[in-house]
Amino acid sequence: MTLTETSAVMPERIATKRTVLMCRPEFFTVVYRINPWKDPAIPTDTSLAVAQWQTLYDTYIGLGFDVQLIDPVDGLPDMVYAANGGFIIDNIAYGASFTHPERQPEGPAYMDWFAANDFDVRAPQNINEGEGDFLLVGGVILAGTGFRSASNSHAELAGIYGREVVTLNLVNPNFYHLDTAIAVLDDTNIAYLESAFDEQSLVTLRALFPDAILATEEDAAVLGLNSYSDGYNVVIASRAKDFERQLRERGYNPIGVDLSELLLGGGGVKCCTLELRR
Ligand code: ARG
């Protein structure tokens, strides 16, 4: 008999200290609409955004993470979503090249930070929104396309890192970045929202991750999948209750945080977090 994770054997979950980059949302607001979550008619509260973001920062510090900070830039309200600032493995920082003109200046701002912090920076040839669309799972890079990162950036990624890149097609505009539809839990496990992907991508995901957690529409609708795991502790949206239950069942330690203000910009926990892998 073969044993899957959901039956008899519960593997031990092991936390690994992470190094991440974050950007305090001092200039956060919603003044342009580049995803369905954003409505410039709904007021935002910048000080509440900063306070909620601080809770996430403090949570990471409490988990023993090394949290680096990039200075926010006035006029770049989405810069708080640091995941989009680039993609880093093996000390190589592949820069972002944003789809929308409103975010394009963030690309060089992040690349300057990477260079100043001794990363080997690769200027992008193709449109891509960094770790928003590229997720490392073990040795494989899952790469999203459909709304933001162009599919030719996937080939560029494969060339830079010499790793397998698996293209996944996003089909629901509410889940426009891969990190809104997939949560990476550790080197072999993910959670995802099935309805965010086309049929071909689902075949791929089911083959690669037969034991994946399948998220509910309700949890995805509060960006519950937009979470960040150290292999044991999984920082999630506090409203994602079924996801929390499923994580516990699988031996993870879910930690809820409330980023409701940053949700008005269409981002959650993971969007505010860029992993720095030296
Ligand atoms: N307002 C931002 C945008 O639409 C949110 C980015 C969310 N980031 C992420 N990694 N999913 O671009």
Across all residues in the chain, what is the average pLDDT? 96
- For residue 263 and ligand 1, the question of a CB distance below 6 A is answered with no
- Region for 217 from its dihedrals, namely left if φ exceeds 0, alpha if ψ lies in -120 to 50, beta otherwise: alpha
Q: Which residue in 76, 86, 134 sits closest to 113, CA to CA?
A: 86
CA distances from 71 to 74, 91, 234 (A): 10, 21, 26
CA distance 21 to 275: 6
pLDDT at residue 5 is higher than 70: no
Counts for the chain of helices (H) and strands (E), in that order: 7, 15
pLDDT at residue 1 is higher than 60: no
What are the beta bridge partners of residue 54?
none
Instruction: Report pLDDT digits (tens) over 70-81.
Output: 999 999 999 999
Across 226-235, b (16+ Cβ under 10 Å) vs e yields bbbbbbbbbb
What is the assigned CATH class of domain 19-275? Answer: alpha beta
CA distance 166 to 146: 14
Catalytic residue IDs: 177, 271
Residue to substitute in 29, 84, 99 for testing ligand 1 pocket (most ligand atoms within 8 angstroms of CB): 84
Mean predicted confidence (pLDDT) in 8-33: 93
Rounded to the nearest angstrom, the distance between the alpha carbon of 81 and the centre of ligand 1 is 6
* Cβ proximity of 219 and 241 under 8 Å: yes
Domain ranges of the chain: 19-275
DSSP 73-127: -TT-GGGG-GGGGEEEETTEEEEPB-SSGGGTTHHHHHHHHHHHTT-EEE--SS-
Atom of ligand 1 at shortest distance to CA of 30?
A: 1
pLDDT at residue 219 is higher than 50: yes
pLDDT at residue 127 is higher than 60: yes
pLDDT at 6: 54
CA distance 271 to 87: 12
SS (H, E, C) 206-224: HHHCCCCEECCHHHHCCCC
Sign of CA dihedral 190, 133, 135, 169: positive
Instruction: Report pLDDT digits (tens) over 239-274.
Output: 999 999 999 999 999 999 999 999 999 999 999 999
Atom of ligand 1 at shortest distance to CA of 265?
A: 1
What is the DSSP secondary structure assignment for residue 31, as one 8-state letter? -
pLDDT at residue 126 is higher than 70: yes
- For residue 84 and ligand 1, the question of a CB distance below 6 A is answered with yes
pLDDT at residue 7 is higher than 80: no
Position 9 confidence tier, pLDDT thresholds 50, 70, 90: confident
Rounded to the nearest angstrom, the distance between the alpha carbon of 193 and the centre of ligand 1 is 17
Position 8 confidence tier, pLDDT thresholds 50, 70, 90: low
Share of the chain above pLDDT 70, in %: 97
Rounded to the nearest angstrom, the distance between the alpha carbon of 2 and the centre of ligand 1 is 40
Six token digits for residue 32: 């342009």
Residue type, 63: L
Atom of ligand 1 at shortest distance to CA of 176?
A: 11
Distance of CA 72 to the CA centre of its chain: 19
Instruction: Report pLDDT digits (tens) over 92-111.
Output: 999 999 999 999 999 999 99
- For residue 256 and ligand 1, the question of a CB distance below 6 A is answered with no
Q: Which residue has the tokens 């293209």?
A: 167
